[in-house]
Structure 1
Amino acid sequence: MTTIDVNGITVGIESFGDDGAPLVLLAGGTTMLSWPDALCERLAAGGRRAVRYDLRDSGESTTADPEAPAYTLRDLAADAAALADALGGGPAHLAGIGVGGMVAQVAALDHPGAFSALTLAGTRAVAPGPPDEDLPDHDRAAMSRLFARPMPDWADREAVAEFAAGGAEILGDDPAAARAVAARVWDRTPGTAPPVQMANQLGMVFSRLDCAPRWRERLPGIEVPTLVVHGRRDRFFPVGNGEAIAREIPGARLLVLEEAATAIPGAAVGEVAGAMLALG
Protein backbone atom coordinates (compact mmCIF):
# COMPACT_ATOMS: atom_id res chain seq x y z
CA MET A 1 0.00 0.00 0.00
CA THR A 2 1.15 3.51 -0.77
CA THR A 3 -0.25 6.95 -1.59
CA ILE A 4 -0.41 9.18 -4.65
CA ASP A 5 -1.24 12.88 -4.93
CA VAL A 6 -3.98 13.73 -7.45
CA ASN A 7 -6.63 16.41 -7.81
CA GLY A 8 -5.17 18.37 -4.88
CA ILE A 9 -5.48 15.49 -2.39
CA THR A 10 -3.62 12.37 -1.26
CA VAL A 11 -5.16 9.01 -2.21
CA GLY A 12 -4.32 5.69 -0.59
CA ILE A 13 -3.80 2.94 -3.17
CA GLU A 14 -2.70 -0.68 -3.38
CA SER A 15 -1.55 -2.22 -6.65
CA PHE A 16 -1.66 -5.86 -7.77
CA GLY A 17 -0.01 -7.13 -10.95
CA ASP A 18 2.33 -5.74 -13.58
CA ASP A 19 2.53 -1.94 -13.66
CA GLY A 20 2.40 -2.07 -17.46
CA ALA A 21 -0.75 -4.20 -17.66
CA PRO A 22 -4.21 -2.76 -18.51
CA LEU A 23 -5.54 -0.90 -15.48
CA VAL A 24 -8.57 -1.92 -13.42
CA LEU A 25 -9.26 0.88 -10.91
CA LEU A 26 -11.33 -0.23 -7.91
CA ALA A 27 -13.12 2.55 -6.00
CA GLY A 28 -13.65 1.65 -2.35
CA GLY A 29 -16.94 1.83 -0.62
CA THR A 30 -15.54 3.71 1.28
CA THR A 31 -12.16 2.08 1.96
CA MET A 32 -10.20 -0.01 -0.55
CA LEU A 33 -10.74 -3.08 1.64
CA SER A 34 -14.32 -3.27 0.36
CA TRP A 35 -12.67 -5.09 -2.56
CA PRO A 36 -11.49 -8.57 -1.47
CA ASP A 37 -7.79 -9.37 -1.67
CA ALA A 38 -8.58 -12.55 -3.60
CA LEU A 39 -10.48 -10.64 -6.29
CA CYS A 40 -7.59 -8.23 -6.81
CA GLU A 41 -5.22 -11.20 -7.05
CA ARG A 42 -7.47 -12.93 -9.62
CA LEU A 43 -7.54 -9.80 -11.76
CA ALA A 44 -3.75 -9.57 -11.60
CA ALA A 45 -3.44 -13.25 -12.54
CA GLY A 46 -5.69 -12.48 -15.51
CA GLY A 47 -3.18 -9.98 -16.88
CA ARG A 48 -4.49 -6.78 -15.34
CA ARG A 49 -3.04 -4.20 -13.00
CA ALA A 50 -5.66 -4.01 -10.25
CA VAL A 51 -5.42 -0.84 -8.15
CA ARG A 52 -7.86 -0.43 -5.29
CA TYR A 53 -8.12 2.91 -3.52
CA ASP A 54 -9.64 4.70 -0.53
CA LEU A 55 -12.21 7.44 -1.07
CA ARG A 56 -11.60 10.74 0.68
CA ASP A 57 -11.99 10.66 4.47
CA SER A 58 -11.05 6.97 4.61
CA GLY A 59 -7.93 4.85 4.93
CA GLU A 60 -4.76 6.54 3.75
CA SER A 61 -6.58 9.17 1.69
CA THR A 62 -6.93 12.78 2.80
CA THR A 63 -9.07 13.03 5.94
CA ALA A 64 -10.40 16.45 6.87
CA ASP A 65 -13.83 16.72 8.52
CA PRO A 66 -16.16 13.77 7.79
CA GLU A 67 -19.01 15.58 9.54
CA ALA A 68 -18.82 18.50 7.09
CA PRO A 69 -17.17 17.31 3.87
CA ALA A 70 -15.96 20.19 1.71
CA TYR A 71 -16.34 18.15 -1.49
CA THR A 72 -19.14 16.61 -3.53
CA LEU A 73 -19.91 13.33 -5.26
CA ARG A 74 -18.63 14.92 -8.47
CA ASP A 75 -15.33 15.73 -6.80
CA LEU A 76 -15.00 12.03 -5.94
CA ALA A 77 -15.75 11.22 -9.58
CA ALA A 78 -13.05 13.65 -10.66
CA ASP A 79 -10.64 11.94 -8.24
CA ALA A 80 -11.23 8.65 -10.08
CA ALA A 81 -10.51 10.22 -13.46
CA ALA A 82 -7.37 11.96 -12.16
CA LEU A 83 -6.16 8.73 -10.56
CA ALA A 84 -6.67 6.78 -13.80
CA ASP A 85 -4.65 9.42 -15.64
CA ALA A 86 -1.86 9.48 -13.04
CA LEU A 87 -1.51 5.70 -13.08
CA GLY A 88 -1.20 5.74 -16.88
CA GLY A 89 -1.79 3.01 -19.42
CA GLY A 90 -4.70 4.58 -21.29
CA PRO A 91 -8.39 4.48 -20.38
CA ALA A 92 -9.05 2.32 -17.31
CA HIS A 93 -11.67 -0.23 -16.39
CA LEU A 94 -13.38 1.51 -13.45
CA ALA A 95 -15.11 -0.55 -10.77
CA GLY A 96 -17.08 0.75 -7.80
CA ILE A 97 -18.74 -1.10 -4.92
CA GLY A 98 -21.51 0.27 -2.68
CA VAL A 99 -21.17 4.05 -2.50
CA GLY A 100 -18.07 3.63 -4.67
CA GLY A 101 -20.47 2.42 -7.34
CA MET A 102 -22.19 5.80 -7.25
CA VAL A 103 -18.80 7.44 -7.70
CA ALA A 104 -18.09 5.14 -10.65
CA GLN A 105 -21.38 5.91 -12.40
CA VAL A 106 -20.85 9.65 -12.18
CA ALA A 107 -17.18 9.32 -13.17
CA ALA A 108 -18.11 7.36 -16.31
CA LEU A 109 -20.68 10.02 -17.22
CA ASP A 110 -18.60 13.11 -16.39
CA HIS A 111 -15.24 11.80 -17.65
CA PRO A 112 -16.06 9.30 -20.41
CA GLY A 113 -12.64 9.49 -22.05
CA ALA A 114 -10.93 8.25 -18.89
CA PHE A 115 -12.61 4.85 -18.81
CA SER A 116 -12.87 1.85 -21.13
CA ALA A 117 -15.20 -0.36 -19.07
CA LEU A 118 -17.36 -0.14 -15.96
CA THR A 119 -18.21 -2.57 -13.15
CA LEU A 120 -20.89 -1.57 -10.64
CA ALA A 121 -21.26 -3.81 -7.58
CA GLY A 122 -23.96 -3.61 -4.92
CA THR A 123 -25.01 -0.05 -5.67
CA ARG A 124 -27.91 2.03 -6.98
CA ALA A 125 -28.50 4.88 -9.40
CA VAL A 126 -29.69 7.53 -6.95
CA ALA A 127 -27.90 9.35 -4.16
CA PRO A 128 -28.11 8.38 -0.49
CA GLY A 129 -31.56 8.98 0.93
CA PRO A 130 -35.02 7.93 -0.25
CA PRO A 131 -34.87 6.18 -3.64
CA ASP A 132 -37.13 6.71 -6.62
CA GLU A 133 -40.58 5.15 -6.30
CA ASP A 134 -39.72 2.32 -8.71
CA LEU A 135 -36.61 1.30 -6.75
CA PRO A 136 -36.65 -0.87 -3.62
CA ASP A 137 -35.48 0.88 -0.47
CA HIS A 138 -33.40 -0.59 2.35
CA ASP A 139 -35.05 -3.56 4.07
CA ARG A 140 -36.90 -1.90 6.95
CA ALA A 141 -36.61 -4.74 9.44
CA ALA A 142 -32.89 -5.09 8.83
CA MET A 143 -32.33 -1.33 9.10
CA SER A 144 -34.27 -1.18 12.38
CA ARG A 145 -32.05 -3.88 13.85
CA LEU A 146 -28.90 -2.36 12.36
CA PHE A 147 -29.40 1.14 13.73
CA ALA A 148 -30.89 0.12 17.08
CA ARG A 149 -27.51 -1.15 18.22
CA PRO A 150 -25.38 1.04 20.51
CA MET A 151 -22.20 2.31 18.93
CA PRO A 152 -18.98 0.61 20.04
CA ASP A 153 -16.04 2.23 21.77
CA TRP A 154 -14.24 3.35 18.63
CA ALA A 155 -10.91 3.26 20.49
CA ASP A 156 -11.36 -0.48 21.11
CA ARG A 157 -10.27 -2.46 18.04
CA GLU A 158 -11.96 -5.68 19.14
CA ALA A 159 -15.22 -3.92 19.99
CA VAL A 160 -15.29 -2.29 16.55
CA ALA A 161 -14.59 -5.62 14.85
CA GLU A 162 -17.37 -7.30 16.84
CA PHE A 163 -19.75 -4.46 15.96
CA ALA A 164 -18.99 -5.04 12.27
CA ALA A 165 -19.57 -8.77 12.64
CA GLY A 166 -22.97 -8.11 14.20
CA GLY A 167 -23.91 -5.77 11.37
CA ALA A 168 -22.86 -8.35 8.81
CA GLU A 169 -25.11 -10.95 10.41
CA ILE A 170 -28.06 -8.57 10.14
CA LEU A 171 -27.29 -7.75 6.51
CA GLY A 172 -26.73 -11.37 5.49
CA ASP A 173 -22.95 -11.19 5.05
CA ASP A 174 -20.29 -13.43 6.59
CA PRO A 175 -19.68 -12.22 10.18
CA ALA A 176 -16.19 -13.73 10.37
CA ALA A 177 -15.09 -12.06 7.14
CA ALA A 178 -16.60 -8.75 8.23
CA ARG A 179 -14.84 -8.95 11.59
CA ALA A 180 -11.48 -9.50 9.91
CA VAL A 181 -11.96 -6.66 7.43
CA ALA A 182 -13.14 -4.26 10.14
CA ALA A 183 -10.01 -4.94 12.18
CA ARG A 184 -7.86 -4.17 9.14
CA VAL A 185 -9.86 -1.01 8.46
CA TRP A 186 -9.40 0.05 12.12
CA ASP A 187 -5.64 -0.42 11.76
CA ARG A 188 -5.64 1.94 8.76
CA THR A 189 -7.95 4.58 10.23
CA PRO A 190 -6.20 7.84 11.18
CA GLY A 191 -7.40 8.11 14.77
CA THR A 192 -10.24 6.88 16.94
CA ALA A 193 -12.51 9.95 16.81
CA PRO A 194 -16.06 8.63 16.22
CA PRO A 195 -16.71 10.68 13.02
CA VAL A 196 -13.49 9.41 11.45
CA GLN A 197 -14.12 5.82 12.51
CA MET A 198 -17.69 5.98 11.23
CA ALA A 199 -16.49 7.37 7.91
CA ASN A 200 -14.16 4.37 7.59
CA GLN A 201 -16.31 1.62 9.05
CA LEU A 202 -19.81 2.77 8.09
CA GLY A 203 -19.32 5.28 5.27
CA MET A 204 -21.40 7.81 7.21
CA VAL A 205 -19.71 10.74 5.44
CA PHE A 206 -21.81 9.87 2.38
CA SER A 207 -25.01 10.85 4.19
CA ARG A 208 -23.63 14.40 4.40
CA LEU A 209 -22.34 14.61 0.84
CA ASP A 210 -23.77 16.89 -1.84
CA CYS A 211 -24.80 14.43 -4.58
CA ALA A 212 -26.79 16.83 -6.78
CA PRO A 213 -27.69 16.93 -9.57
CA ARG A 214 -29.29 13.57 -10.32
CA TRP A 215 -27.52 11.24 -12.71
CA ARG A 216 -29.92 8.30 -13.18
CA GLU A 217 -31.52 9.83 -16.26
CA ARG A 218 -28.08 10.06 -17.88
CA LEU A 219 -27.29 6.34 -17.60
CA PRO A 220 -28.37 5.58 -21.19
CA GLY A 221 -25.45 7.81 -22.25
CA ILE A 222 -22.85 5.36 -20.89
CA GLU A 223 -21.22 3.80 -23.95
CA VAL A 224 -18.53 1.54 -22.45
CA PRO A 225 -19.02 -2.16 -21.71
CA THR A 226 -20.67 -2.43 -18.30
CA LEU A 227 -21.05 -5.22 -15.76
CA VAL A 228 -23.57 -4.89 -12.93
CA VAL A 229 -22.95 -7.25 -9.98
CA HIS A 230 -25.52 -7.60 -7.23
CA GLY A 231 -26.23 -9.97 -4.35
CA ARG A 232 -29.65 -11.61 -4.42
CA ARG A 233 -29.80 -11.31 -0.62
CA ASP A 234 -28.71 -7.66 -0.39
CA ARG A 235 -30.87 -6.00 2.27
CA PHE A 236 -29.16 -2.61 2.07
CA PHE A 237 -29.52 -1.98 -1.66
CA PRO A 238 -31.98 -4.72 -2.70
CA VAL A 239 -31.32 -6.42 -6.03
CA GLY A 240 -33.96 -4.36 -7.86
CA ASN A 241 -31.51 -1.46 -7.76
CA GLY A 242 -28.91 -3.42 -9.71
CA GLU A 243 -31.54 -4.68 -12.12
CA ALA A 244 -32.60 -1.08 -12.85
CA ILE A 245 -29.02 0.01 -13.57
CA ALA A 246 -28.54 -2.93 -15.93
CA ARG A 247 -31.74 -2.06 -17.80
CA GLU A 248 -30.83 1.59 -18.20
CA ILE A 249 -27.20 1.27 -19.36
CA PRO A 250 -27.22 0.06 -22.98
CA GLY A 251 -25.86 -3.47 -23.34
CA ALA A 252 -25.02 -3.87 -19.64
CA ARG A 253 -24.64 -7.40 -18.30
CA LEU A 254 -26.31 -8.24 -14.98
CA LEU A 255 -24.58 -10.81 -12.77
CA VAL A 256 -26.71 -11.73 -9.74
CA LEU A 257 -24.84 -13.58 -7.00
CA GLU A 258 -27.51 -15.87 -5.58
CA GLU A 259 -25.84 -16.47 -2.19
CA ALA A 260 -24.45 -12.95 -1.67
CA ALA A 261 -25.69 -9.91 0.25
CA THR A 262 -23.74 -6.61 0.34
CA ALA A 263 -20.19 -8.01 0.17
CA ILE A 264 -18.56 -10.15 -2.53
CA PRO A 265 -18.12 -13.51 -0.77
CA GLY A 266 -15.05 -15.64 -1.27
CA ALA A 267 -17.07 -18.28 -3.10
CA ALA A 268 -18.05 -15.74 -5.77
CA VAL A 269 -14.63 -14.17 -6.35
CA GLY A 270 -13.78 -16.37 -9.33
CA GLU A 271 -17.10 -15.71 -11.04
CA VAL A 272 -16.89 -11.95 -10.51
CA ALA A 273 -13.25 -11.74 -11.61
CA GLY A 274 -14.00 -13.79 -14.73
CA ALA A 275 -16.89 -11.51 -15.66
CA MET A 276 -14.74 -8.40 -15.12
CA LEU A 277 -11.90 -9.79 -17.20
CA ALA A 278 -14.33 -10.58 -20.02
CA LEU A 279 -15.19 -6.86 -20.29
CA GLY A 280 -11.66 -6.18 -21.48
Structure 2
Amino acid sequence: MTTEKLYQVNGVELCAQTFGDPGDPAVLLIHGASASMLWWEPELCEQLAARRRFVIRYDQRDTGRSTSYPVGEPGYAMSDLASDAVGLLDALGIDRAHVVAQSMSGGTALFLGLDHPSRVASLTFVSTTTGDDGLPPPSESMPRLGTPDFADHAAVEEYVVRSIEAEAAGHFKEASARALVRADQARARDYEASLTNHYAMAFDSPRNGGFGDLTQPVLVVHGDKDPLLPLPHGEALRDAVPGARLVVMPGMGHGLSAPYWSEFVDALVDHTEER
Protein backbone atom coordinates (compact mmCIF):
# COMPACT_ATOMS: atom_id res chain seq x y z
CA MET A 1 0.00 0.00 0.00
CA THR A 2 1.39 3.40 -0.99
CA THR A 3 0.73 6.60 0.90
CA GLU A 4 -1.95 8.93 -0.41
CA LYS A 5 -0.73 11.27 -3.13
CA LEU A 6 -2.22 14.30 -4.88
CA TYR A 7 -2.12 14.31 -8.68
CA GLN A 8 -2.73 17.28 -11.00
CA VAL A 9 -5.35 16.06 -13.46
CA ASN A 10 -7.48 18.13 -15.85
CA GLY A 11 -6.88 21.30 -13.88
CA VAL A 12 -7.92 19.76 -10.55
CA GLU A 13 -6.24 17.83 -7.74
CA LEU A 14 -7.15 14.17 -7.26
CA CYS A 15 -5.99 12.17 -4.27
CA ALA A 16 -5.19 8.52 -4.96
CA GLN A 17 -3.62 5.51 -3.29
CA THR A 18 -2.43 2.20 -4.75
CA PHE A 19 -2.09 -1.36 -3.47
CA GLY A 20 0.07 -4.12 -4.90
CA ASP A 21 2.56 -4.54 -7.72
CA PRO A 22 2.36 -1.99 -10.59
CA GLY A 23 3.33 -4.83 -12.93
CA ASP A 24 0.04 -6.63 -12.26
CA PRO A 25 -3.20 -5.86 -14.14
CA ALA A 26 -4.59 -2.52 -12.96
CA VAL A 27 -8.00 -2.31 -11.27
CA LEU A 28 -9.44 1.19 -10.92
CA LEU A 29 -12.06 1.47 -8.16
CA ILE A 30 -14.65 4.27 -8.49
CA HIS A 31 -17.05 4.56 -5.59
CA GLY A 32 -20.55 6.03 -5.71
CA ALA A 33 -22.02 9.45 -5.11
CA SER A 34 -20.52 11.38 -2.19
CA ALA A 35 -18.14 8.55 -1.28
CA SER A 36 -14.41 9.11 -0.99
CA MET A 37 -11.88 6.39 -1.65
CA LEU A 38 -12.13 5.36 2.03
CA TRP A 39 -15.36 3.58 1.17
CA TRP A 40 -13.23 1.02 -0.69
CA GLU A 41 -11.92 -0.43 2.55
CA PRO A 42 -8.17 -1.19 2.71
CA GLU A 43 -8.84 -4.82 3.60
CA LEU A 44 -10.78 -5.32 0.36
CA CYS A 45 -8.05 -3.59 -1.65
CA GLU A 46 -5.42 -5.76 0.02
CA GLN A 47 -7.37 -8.93 -0.81
CA LEU A 48 -7.39 -7.91 -4.47
CA ALA A 49 -3.69 -7.01 -4.41
CA ALA A 50 -2.89 -10.41 -2.89
CA ARG A 51 -4.53 -11.95 -5.97
CA ARG A 52 -2.07 -10.15 -8.25
CA ARG A 53 -4.03 -7.04 -9.10
CA PHE A 54 -2.65 -3.50 -8.94
CA VAL A 55 -5.46 -1.68 -7.13
CA ILE A 56 -6.11 2.05 -7.42
CA ARG A 57 -8.61 3.88 -5.24
CA TYR A 58 -9.11 7.63 -5.39
CA ASP A 59 -11.18 10.59 -4.28
CA GLN A 60 -13.36 11.92 -7.07
CA ARG A 61 -13.97 15.65 -7.21
CA ASP A 62 -15.85 16.92 -4.17
CA THR A 63 -14.83 13.94 -2.03
CA GLY A 64 -11.94 13.44 0.37
CA ARG A 65 -8.79 15.42 -0.33
CA SER A 66 -9.58 16.11 -3.98
CA THR A 67 -10.68 19.47 -5.37
CA SER A 68 -13.93 20.76 -3.87
CA TYR A 69 -16.47 23.20 -5.29
CA PRO A 70 -18.97 25.57 -3.63
CA VAL A 71 -21.93 23.75 -2.17
CA GLY A 72 -24.59 23.30 -4.83
CA GLU A 73 -22.34 24.66 -7.58
CA PRO A 74 -20.21 21.83 -8.95
CA GLY A 75 -18.27 23.04 -11.95
CA TYR A 76 -18.32 19.73 -13.80
CA ALA A 77 -20.43 17.07 -15.49
CA MET A 78 -20.30 13.27 -15.27
CA SER A 79 -18.20 13.23 -18.45
CA ASP A 80 -15.57 15.27 -16.57
CA LEU A 81 -15.42 12.63 -13.84
CA ALA A 82 -14.71 10.06 -16.55
CA SER A 83 -11.99 12.28 -18.04
CA ASP A 84 -10.51 12.56 -14.54
CA ALA A 85 -10.25 8.77 -14.35
CA VAL A 86 -8.38 8.73 -17.67
CA GLY A 87 -6.11 11.53 -16.47
CA LEU A 88 -5.34 9.64 -13.29
CA LEU A 89 -4.36 6.57 -15.33
CA ASP A 90 -2.09 8.84 -17.37
CA ALA A 91 -0.50 10.22 -14.19
CA LEU A 92 0.13 6.68 -12.96
CA GLY A 93 1.55 5.55 -16.30
CA ILE A 94 -1.21 2.99 -16.91
CA ASP A 95 -2.43 2.34 -20.45
CA ARG A 96 -5.52 0.25 -19.64
CA ALA A 97 -7.37 -0.66 -16.46
CA HIS A 98 -10.16 -2.92 -15.34
CA VAL A 99 -12.78 -0.44 -14.11
CA VAL A 100 -14.99 -1.21 -11.12
CA ALA A 101 -17.76 1.30 -10.43
CA GLN A 102 -20.36 1.34 -7.70
CA SER A 103 -23.87 2.81 -7.67
CA MET A 104 -24.11 6.22 -9.38
CA SER A 105 -20.54 5.91 -10.67
CA GLY A 106 -21.82 3.25 -13.03
CA GLY A 107 -22.55 6.25 -15.23
CA THR A 108 -18.90 7.29 -15.07
CA ALA A 109 -17.87 3.75 -16.02
CA LEU A 110 -20.29 3.86 -18.97
CA PHE A 111 -18.58 7.03 -20.22
CA LEU A 112 -15.19 5.34 -19.87
CA GLY A 113 -16.23 2.23 -21.76
CA LEU A 114 -17.86 4.15 -24.62
CA ASP A 115 -15.86 7.35 -25.01
CA HIS A 116 -12.43 6.09 -23.82
CA PRO A 117 -12.59 2.43 -24.90
CA SER A 118 -8.86 1.98 -25.47
CA ARG A 119 -8.24 2.67 -21.76
CA VAL A 120 -10.71 0.09 -20.42
CA ALA A 121 -9.84 -3.62 -20.28
CA SER A 122 -13.13 -4.63 -18.64
CA LEU A 123 -16.03 -3.14 -16.69
CA THR A 124 -17.64 -4.23 -13.43
CA PHE A 125 -20.84 -2.56 -12.24
CA VAL A 126 -21.66 -2.97 -8.54
CA SER A 127 -25.12 -2.09 -7.20
CA THR A 128 -25.92 0.14 -10.14
CA THR A 129 -28.59 0.61 -12.81
CA THR A 130 -29.37 1.49 -16.40
CA GLY A 131 -31.70 4.18 -15.09
CA ASP A 132 -34.49 3.00 -17.37
CA ASP A 133 -38.07 4.05 -16.73
CA GLY A 134 -40.19 1.33 -15.22
CA LEU A 135 -37.56 -0.11 -12.88
CA PRO A 136 -38.71 -0.42 -9.27
CA PRO A 137 -38.20 2.51 -6.88
CA PRO A 138 -36.33 2.20 -3.58
CA SER A 139 -37.91 -0.10 -1.04
CA GLU A 140 -40.52 1.36 1.27
CA SER A 141 -38.25 0.24 4.09
CA MET A 142 -35.77 2.99 3.20
CA PRO A 143 -36.15 5.75 5.81
CA ARG A 144 -36.64 9.36 4.78
CA LEU A 145 -33.80 11.11 6.53
CA GLY A 146 -34.03 14.87 6.78
CA THR A 147 -31.10 17.03 5.73
CA PRO A 148 -28.83 17.56 8.74
CA ASP A 149 -27.48 20.85 10.04
CA PHE A 150 -24.02 20.82 8.46
CA ALA A 151 -22.68 23.05 11.23
CA ASP A 152 -23.39 20.21 13.66
CA HIS A 153 -20.71 17.55 13.03
CA ALA A 154 -22.40 15.04 15.30
CA ALA A 155 -25.71 15.42 13.45
CA VAL A 156 -23.99 14.97 10.09
CA GLU A 157 -22.18 11.89 11.36
CA GLU A 158 -25.46 10.41 12.58
CA TYR A 159 -27.15 11.15 9.26
CA VAL A 160 -24.51 9.29 7.23
CA VAL A 161 -24.29 6.39 9.68
CA ARG A 162 -28.04 5.91 9.54
CA SER A 163 -27.89 6.06 5.73
CA ILE A 164 -25.30 3.28 5.74
CA GLU A 165 -27.50 1.24 8.06
CA ALA A 166 -30.53 1.67 5.81
CA GLU A 167 -28.66 0.49 2.71
CA ALA A 168 -26.86 -2.42 4.37
CA ALA A 169 -29.87 -4.78 4.52
CA GLY A 170 -28.83 -6.19 7.88
CA HIS A 171 -25.07 -6.30 7.26
CA PHE A 172 -24.39 -3.28 9.45
CA LYS A 173 -21.62 -2.76 11.98
CA GLU A 174 -22.21 0.40 14.00
CA ALA A 175 -18.62 0.84 15.16
CA SER A 176 -17.01 0.38 11.75
CA ALA A 177 -19.60 2.59 10.02
CA ARG A 178 -19.07 5.37 12.54
CA ALA A 179 -15.29 5.09 12.23
CA LEU A 180 -15.56 5.36 8.43
CA VAL A 181 -17.77 8.45 8.60
CA ARG A 182 -15.50 10.17 11.13
CA ALA A 183 -12.45 9.48 8.98
CA ASP A 184 -14.32 10.74 5.93
CA GLN A 185 -15.32 13.96 7.68
CA ALA A 186 -11.79 14.53 8.95
CA ARG A 187 -10.10 14.39 5.56
CA ALA A 188 -12.76 16.07 3.40
CA ARG A 189 -12.06 19.57 2.11
CA ASP A 190 -15.78 20.35 2.46
CA TYR A 191 -18.02 17.57 3.73
CA GLU A 192 -21.22 19.43 2.92
CA ALA A 193 -20.06 19.69 -0.69
CA SER A 194 -19.23 15.98 -0.60
CA LEU A 195 -22.78 15.11 0.40
CA THR A 196 -24.36 17.58 -2.02
CA ASN A 197 -22.51 18.24 -5.23
CA HIS A 198 -22.51 14.88 -6.99
CA TYR A 199 -26.30 15.11 -7.09
CA ALA A 200 -26.14 18.65 -8.50
CA MET A 201 -23.67 18.06 -11.36
CA ALA A 202 -24.70 17.95 -15.01
CA PHE A 203 -25.68 14.43 -16.07
CA ASP A 204 -24.63 14.46 -19.71
CA SER A 205 -24.61 11.45 -22.04
CA PRO A 206 -21.74 9.55 -23.68
CA ARG A 207 -20.98 10.50 -27.27
CA ASN A 208 -20.80 6.91 -28.48
CA GLY A 209 -24.07 5.28 -27.46
CA GLY A 210 -25.39 3.45 -24.43
CA PHE A 211 -25.02 0.20 -22.50
CA GLY A 212 -25.79 -1.89 -25.59
CA ASP A 213 -22.78 -0.40 -27.37
CA LEU A 214 -20.17 -1.49 -24.82
CA THR A 215 -17.58 -3.86 -26.29
CA GLN A 216 -15.56 -4.69 -23.17
CA PRO A 217 -16.28 -7.73 -21.00
CA VAL A 218 -18.91 -6.68 -18.43
CA LEU A 219 -19.60 -8.11 -14.99
CA VAL A 220 -22.65 -7.00 -12.99
CA VAL A 221 -22.68 -7.57 -9.22
CA HIS A 222 -25.90 -6.95 -7.31
CA GLY A 223 -27.41 -7.86 -3.97
CA ASP A 224 -30.84 -9.42 -3.96
CA LYS A 225 -31.74 -7.36 -0.88
CA ASP A 226 -30.64 -3.99 -2.28
CA PRO A 227 -33.22 -1.54 -0.87
CA LEU A 228 -32.04 1.45 -2.91
CA LEU A 229 -31.74 -0.17 -6.35
CA PRO A 230 -33.64 -3.47 -6.14
CA LEU A 231 -32.33 -6.49 -8.05
CA PRO A 232 -34.29 -5.76 -11.28
CA HIS A 233 -31.90 -2.83 -11.80
CA GLY A 234 -28.95 -5.22 -11.96
CA GLU A 235 -30.90 -7.63 -14.15
CA ALA A 236 -31.77 -4.80 -16.55
CA LEU A 237 -28.11 -3.83 -16.79
CA ARG A 238 -27.11 -7.42 -17.57
CA ASP A 239 -29.79 -7.62 -20.24
CA ALA A 240 -28.74 -4.30 -21.78
CA VAL A 241 -25.11 -5.30 -22.41
CA PRO A 242 -24.41 -8.08 -24.92
CA GLY A 243 -22.60 -10.92 -23.18
CA ALA A 244 -22.72 -9.39 -19.70
CA ARG A 245 -22.65 -11.72 -16.70
CA LEU A 246 -24.66 -11.11 -13.52
CA VAL A 247 -23.49 -12.33 -10.11
CA VAL A 248 -26.26 -12.06 -7.54
CA MET A 249 -25.13 -11.83 -3.93
CA PRO A 250 -27.82 -13.45 -1.75
CA GLY A 251 -28.74 -11.26 1.21
CA MET A 252 -26.51 -8.33 0.18
CA GLY A 253 -27.88 -4.81 0.30
CA HIS A 254 -26.59 -1.75 -1.56
CA GLY A 255 -22.83 -1.93 -1.92
CA LEU A 256 -20.23 -4.49 -0.92
CA SER A 257 -20.58 -5.46 2.73
CA ALA A 258 -17.58 -7.22 4.28
CA PRO A 259 -19.19 -10.71 4.33
CA TYR A 260 -19.27 -10.59 0.51
CA TRP A 261 -15.70 -9.48 -0.14
CA SER A 262 -14.29 -12.96 -0.68
CA GLU A 263 -16.98 -13.90 -3.21
CA PHE A 264 -16.60 -10.54 -4.94
CA VAL A 265 -12.81 -10.86 -5.16
CA ASP A 266 -13.15 -14.34 -6.66
CA ALA A 267 -15.61 -13.07 -9.28
CA LEU A 268 -13.52 -10.01 -10.11
CA VAL A 269 -10.26 -11.92 -10.38
CA ASP A 270 -11.92 -14.39 -12.75
CA HIS A 271 -13.44 -11.53 -14.76
CA THR A 272 -10.10 -9.73 -15.10
CA GLU A 273 -7.93 -12.73 -16.02
CA GLU A 274 -6.05 -12.29 -19.27
CA ARG A 275 -7.57 -14.65 -21.83
- TM bracket, shorter-chain basis: 0.7 to 0.9
Q: 1-side partners of 2:232 and 2:208: how far apart?
A: 14
Q: 1-side partners of 2:183 and 2:51: how far apart?
A: 26
Q: 2-side partners of 1:94 and 1:135: how far apart?
A: 25
Question: Where does residue 93 of structure 2 map in the other structure?
Answer: 88
Paired amino acid for 2:188: T
Q: 2-side partners of 1:153 and 1:175: how far apart?
A: 24
RMSD after superposition:
2.1
Structure 2, unpaired ranges of 5+: none
Shift of 1:262: 1.4
Shift of 1:254: 0.8
Evaluate the alpha carbon distance shift between residue 154 and residue 93 of structure 1 in structure 2; reply closer, same or farther with a 3 A threshold: farther
Question: Where does residue 165 of structure 2 map in the other structure?
Answer: 169
Question: Where does residue 21 of structure 1 map in the other structure?
Answer: 24
Question: Where does residue 107 of structure 2 map in the other structure?
Answer: 102
Alpha-carbon contact 2:110-2:206 (below 8 Å) kept:
no
Deviations 1:39-62 (A, max 9, x none): 211110011110101110111111
Q: 2-side partners of 1:53 and 1:90: how far apart?
A: 17
Bigger mean CA offset, 220-229 vs 209-218: 209-218
Bigger mean CA offset, 160-169 vs 47-56: 160-169
Question: Where does residue 67 of structure 2 map in the other structure?
Answer: 62
The reply on whether 1:189 has 2:185 as its aligned counterpart is no
Q: Decide which of 7, 10, 21 is 1:7's aligned counterpart.
A: 10
Question: Where does residue 125 of structure 2 map in the other structure?
Answer: 120
Paired amino acid for 2:230: P
Structure 1, unpaired ranges of 5+: 127-131, 191-195
Deviations 1:220-263 (A, max 9, x none): 11111111111211111222111111111121111111121112
Correspondences of 1:1-280 after superposition (within 5 Å): 1-29=4-32, 30-126=35-131, 132-142=132-142, 145-147=143-145, 149=146, 151-156=148-153, 158-171=154-167, 172=169, 173-176=171-174, 177-190=176-189, 196-200=190-194, 202=195, 204-213=196-205, 218-280=210-272
Question: Where does residue 193 of structure 1 map in the other structure?
Answer: none
Alpha-carbon contact 1:91-1:115 (below 8 Å) kept:
yes
Shift of 1:217: 6.0
Alpha-carbon contact 1:229-1:242 (below 8 Å) kept:
yes
Paired amino acid for 2:10: N
Aligned length: 264
Shift of 1:63: 0.8
Deviations 1:102-124 (A, max 9, x none): 21122111110111011111112
TM-score (norm 2): 0.88
